[in-house]
Amino acid sequence: MKANTFFSSVKSKFLSNKQAKRTIIKQHDVTDCGAACLASIAIHYGLDMPIARIRQYASTDKKGTNVLGLIEAATRLGFSAKGVKADYDNLFSIPLPVIAHVIQNNLPHYVVLYSIHSDYIELMDPAYGEMQKLSHAEFRQKWTGVLLMLLPGDDFTAGTERISLEKRFLYLLLPHKSILIQVLIGAVFYTILGLSSSIFLQKIVDNVLPEGNTNLLNLMGTVMIIIILLQIFINYAKTLLTIKTGQQIDARLILGYYKHLLKLPQQFFDTMRVGEIISRMNDAVKIRAFINDVLIGFAVNVFILIFS
């Protein structure tokens, strides 16, 4: 089918969409460029879809995604999609955005064309995760002449298929709510007791040394020893609870991920690299470290700021 015929049939429908949303999406892997481009255009029309889901729809494998796979994925998202072979002159009359197939670093690649001007083309390159402006000569040298035209169809529904970060963290934290509260309370008391050393020194300088009050010194020394022992105990308990929480979060994430892997079809493993699967398991450690160290540390620092 000639490009001009398809362009003229859908141009008015495309141009009726007044959204100017240009979403930059960085590909996770070298094979994700097609899925990232489709995700960017989907967001342009109001549909937020994870790249991983689009990869599955497009049957992305270790070699990447072909145009047919992108068309199938776009159809499942509710788009009317058509792959066309166009002349360079057609670029000035096509409705945007559109996915263009290019050769970059001697490898097949996809980019999203968002605007075409008389002296340059503005596109979203998922390899760099940024908007770029290329001269017509630069783009013409890369472009293979293949375009993927997308038009929201009757089955297209705007919305989001993503789970918010807040919900993800609540899903992880709620089962361990009581332990985390104990850790937080212990951290607060530990911090308050730590501030008592400055009060102890102040009392010695203001009350003990000027008056030579040894009885007060003995009393304060005894109290300080008790506070130090209590501080050591609280820190020990806090550390144990933190380790326990970390182990439970690790088990929940890694075991849940492992069970999920066992339920996936063989096609998933054919499309994913081994290192990519392992790296996602390693991300569980980073999530646990963030919850245990960053969140609790932030809360403690806030209390230090308040009481100081």
Residues annotated as catalytic are 33
Helices (H), 100-176: 136-142, 165-173
Query: How many C-beta atoms surround the C-beta of residue 132 within 10 A?
Result: 15
Dihedral sign, Cα of residue 252, residue 256, residue 257, residue 262: positive
Taking Cα atoms as reference points, which of 28, 165, 6 lies closest to residue 80?
Answer: 6
List of residues 6+ apart from 56 with CB closer than 8 A: 267, 268, 271
Would you state the structure tokens that stand for residue 266, as one six-digit string?
């063989």
β-strand partners of 82: 149
- Sole residue written with tokens 């398809």: 6
Taking the C-alpha atoms of residue 256 and residue 172, their distance in angstroms, rounded to an integer, is 11
Peptide bond into 97 cis (omega under 30): yes
CB 98 within 8 A of CB 112: yes
Helices (H), 264-273: 266-271
